[in-house]
Amino acid sequence: MKRILIVLLGAALAAGVAAQSKKDAPKKVEKAAEQKAAEPQQSGQAFDNALAMCEGCHGIAGYKTAFPDVYHVPKIGGQQPQYIVNALKAYKSGERSHPSMRGIAATLTDADMQKLAEHYGAAKR
């Protein structure tokens, strides 16, 4: 009986820890993104990393994503640079709410946003 009680208590404790971890996960992700954004990086490497994040979705013709819903990901090549900067700032501030874009924008500096906007603005549609 004592053994069963210990097993049940252990399972309950594990479930409580898992639930708390799940609850805290968004805060941890946001905090990690803030810390990452604060870390100094070489400008070339930071731009290459940011560009790779964008290309992973926006560089694939006809790409659809399934998180948080299934939708068509717009190609951003040829888009007005100021539109891109404004959109990224809105994601970073939370004014726009797409979870993946918020996470990515949180890691970008204003200079990164401007360089990305200029890169995509100069690209063909």
Query: Splitting the chain (125 residues) into consecutive groups of 10 residues, what average pLDDT does each group show?
Result: 48 47 55 54 72 88 77 89 97 93 93 94 85
pLDDT of 32 reads: 57
Convert the pLDDT of each residue in 50-72 to its tens digit.
899 898 888 887 888 777 678 78
Do residues 57 and 73 touch, judged by C-beta distance below 8 A? Answer: yes
Q: Global pTM?
A: 0.61
> 40-122 architecture in CATH?
Orthogonal Bundle (1.10)
DSSP symbols for 82-105: HHHHHHHHHHHHTSS--HHHHHHH
